[in-house]
């Protein structure tokens, strides 16, 4: 596949956006959806695996912006229009720093910031909350649980497993793991990413790559980045589609109930899949944002 000229594509982008200059001299791209009227609160979206911020306009951001919410979407390092080796992340410390620096930029433009993670983006969000708990006013978790539905991922072939083990042992920063599942989106979008390094998984899951492989084979996500170090003292909203291919409503509800938080709300979105949300899905989230912020 032809290597993307991310810097050129970023320079050519004319829509509302912000750029984060990181402490290690990289540029992170933050897409923006401006609120209709005066914004009451801002939401920062952290995207799922393979994706980037762009598709979240139709998924959720347009609806929130129409309701008076200022929405930002970060392209994680190595994704979309952000700098970085595609499919890799250098360290968990760098992930936390990237998120903290992005949150600081968004907070400079809004007095109240709610962090929203979708799928793998929930792991990134929890890592940020565990390390910088006072930086955000609320947390929204969408399409994430600790138990994956049976049969979601095809059983890897022997050759792929051996190559993957080499990736863990030797080529930790090389994207040798191909991410594939039934019904995944973005196959015709060059900004989607379908190959990841062992180090990327280790950083996002907060544990060793071999343990991550074990989680994928067992279907149970025992990630430190799905647990909070202490009681969550900000409002929490957890949502899942009733047709989610990866996580059952029961599994997401179990994850929700495990979070120690006094102010939390659970919502099932009718007709929604893992990354497909019908128009009008986000009324309950808009109401929640209005009541809490």
d(CA 161, CA 143): 27
pLDDT for 156: 54
The CATH T-level fold of domain 6-150+226-292 is Rossmann fold (3.40.50)
Mean pLDDT in consecutive groups of 10 residues from the start of the chain, 293 residues: 82 96 97 90 96 97 96 98 95 96 94 94 96 90 94 59 50 77 86 91 86 80 91 97 97 97 98 96 97 94
Is 241 in contact with 274 (CB distance < 8 Å)? Answer: yes
pLDDT for 70: 96
User: Torsions phi, psi of 269, nearest 5?
Assistant: -95, 115
d(CA 45, CA 115): 6
Task: List, as one string, the DSSP characters of 167-226.
Answer: HHHT-TTS--EE---TT-S-TT-TT---EE-HHHHHHHHTS-HHHHHHHHHHTB---GGG
Is 64 in contact with 43 (CB distance < 8 Å)? Answer: yes
pLDDT for 151: 76
Query: Distance of alpha carbon 230 from its chain centroid, rounded?
Result: 21
Domain ranges of the chain: 6-150+226-292
pLDDT for 170: 52
SS3 160: helix
d(CA 76, CA 120): 11
């Amino acid at each position: 596949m032809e290597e993307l000229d991310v810097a050129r594509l970023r320079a050519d982008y004319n829509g509302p956006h912000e750029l984060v200059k990181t402490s290690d001299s990289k540029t992170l791209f933050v897409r923006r959806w401006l609120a209709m009227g005066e914004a009451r609160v801002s939401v920062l979206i952290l995207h799922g695996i393979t994706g980037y911020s762009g598709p979240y306009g139709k998924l959720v951001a347009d609806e929130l912006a129409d309701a008076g919410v200022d929405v930002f979407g970060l392209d994680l390092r190595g994704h979309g229009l952000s700098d970085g080796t595609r499919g890799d992340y250098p360290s968990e410390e760098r992930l936390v720093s990237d998120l903290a620096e992005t949150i600081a930029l968004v907070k400079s433009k809004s007095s109240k910031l709610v962090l929203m993670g979708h799928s793998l983006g929930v792991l990134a969000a929890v890592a940020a909350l565990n390390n910088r708990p006072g930086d955000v006013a609320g947390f929204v978790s969408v399409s994430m649980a600790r138990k994956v539905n049976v049969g979601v991922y095809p059983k890897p072939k022997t050759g792929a497993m051996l190559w993957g083990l080499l990736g863990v042992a030797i080529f930790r920063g090389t994207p040798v793991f191909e991410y594939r599942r039934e019904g995944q989106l973005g196959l015709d979008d060059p900004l989607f990413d379908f190959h990841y390094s062992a180090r990327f998984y280790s950083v996002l899951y907060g544990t060793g790559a071999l343990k991550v492989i074990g989680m994928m084979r067992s279907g149970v996500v025992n990630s430190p980045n799905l647990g909070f170090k202490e009681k969550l003292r900000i409002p929490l909203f957890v949502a899942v589609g009733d047709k989610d291919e990866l996580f059952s409503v029961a599994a997401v509800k179990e994850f929700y109930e495990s979070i120690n938080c006094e102010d939390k709300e659970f919502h099932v979105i009718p007709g929604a899949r893992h990354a497909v949300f019908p128009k009008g899905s986000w009324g309950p989230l808009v109401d929640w944002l209005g009541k809490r912020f």
